[in-house]
Amino acid sequence: MNIFNLSAARAAPNSPLHDEARDWLVLLTSGRATVADAKALRQWCAQSPEHARAFEQAKVLWQQLAPAAEQFSRPRHFGRRAFLGGAIAASAAVLMVRVTVPGGFAGLTADYRTEVGEQRRVELGDGVRLELNTQTRISRREGGIE
């Protein structure tokens, strides 16, 4: 396919005429087209040079999109190595969170936390005051502290 056709396909106008041309193309490639449909398309294209040009542009666009459509329609299969690699990576990530984050996954969502060597005072209201020592994780919940 040459550059001219490629740019013509990319610049396919949005007009009722071009919409009709694309509709014809969809019908013809659907597997439901009849001989009468083919005759009607020939008559439609013969109405004017613009009709014929619109159908040609639709065909060029369709031909350029076919490889991409085929690529997406193929089922994806991951091999055993890819599956095992993904499983090992996920396991390593879980282990890293458990080892490096105090409280594990629950520690990631804590409302109050302190890091290594950090101390912090938290006023919760109603006279409740917390003093958090190093590497502390506390989550607040309805009705109290967890």
Phi, psi of 116 (to 5 degrees): -60, 125
Kindly state whether residue 115 falls inside one of the protein's structural domains: yes
Residue 45 near residue 38, CB atoms below 8 Å: no
| 34 three-state secondary structure | coil
**9 and 64 both lie in a single domain:** yes
**Is the pLDDT score of 3 beyond 60?**
no
Q: pTM for the whole thing?
A: 0.43
Kindly state whether residue 35 falls inside one of the protein's structural domains: yes
| 118 three-state secondary structure | coil
**10 and 69 both lie in a single domain:** yes
Provide the domain limits for residue 127.
111-141
Please tell me the total count of domains within the chain: 2
Q: Which helix (H) or strand (E) holds 97?
A: helix 80-100
**11 and 57 both lie in a single domain:** yes
**13 and 69 both lie in a single domain:** yes
| 97-137 tens-digit pLDDT | 666 666 666 666 777 888 888 898 888 878 888 888 887 88
